[in-house]
Amino acid sequence: MQRVIAPLVALCATLALSTALSSPASATPPGIPSAATATSQLAALTVANESNSGTYNRALFPHWITISGTCDTRETVLKRDGSNVVTNSSCSATSGSWYSPYDGATWTLASDVDIDHMVPLSEAWKSGAWAWTTSRRQEFANDLSSPQLWAVTDNVNQSKGDKDPAAWKPSRTAFWCTYAKSWIAVKYKYGLSLQSTEKSALTTMLGYC
């Protein structure tokens, strides 16, 4: 009996490994709250009009910074959220697979993938980051400890630009819940305000949870 069981165990392990390797990676940044927590956080955020939009400059948010060795923030997220990612000596991804939860596409070239700031830098600036120190803005732009950085399809990220959820939502409604929870978590962590239209859109999206 043992002679039969051993090959079966080995076969099952091989099939499991094969399935894991062939399945697309799914971006899972840390710190995504439950729907209940996100709802509480949303209620606690200050509703206010945006300000200081005319003084925004992307250079005021230093990124991508070195995280470890030769790896900067972008390369770190590509490794974190990709599947079977191989990098060269300068930490650039030479192969791998990346699943974009915004649109459901999977990419095998790192050049087709952008690292999206869930709450865009310009949006943060207009919501209160204009008053921060450069150090605080650098932390925000490179935050790996919250659901702020996502590996997504490049032209989808470009379509989003600096729009808030009242003006732009992912095409996949199945992701609206996670998107709203992540957006709220980031704004809550950094004490950023939100507009009334933005709050309404996030409330609607939480209804998909």
The least confident of 11-20, 34-43, 72-81, 200-209 is 11-20
Find where tokens 């050049």 sit: 111
What kind and span of H or E run contains 17?
helix 2-22
User: Can you spell out the DSSP letters for 166-202?
Assistant: TT---S-GGGHHHHHHHHHHHHHHHT--B-HHHHHHH
Domain ranges (residues) in the chain: 2-206
pLDDT digit string, tens, across residues 110-129: 999 999 999 999 999 999 99
Q: Under a CB-based contact definition with an 8 Å cutoff, are residues 78 and 110 in contact?
A: yes
Helix (H) or strand (E) holding 74: helix 73-81
The pLDDT, as a whole number, for residue 25 is 46
What is the reported pTM? Answer: 0.87
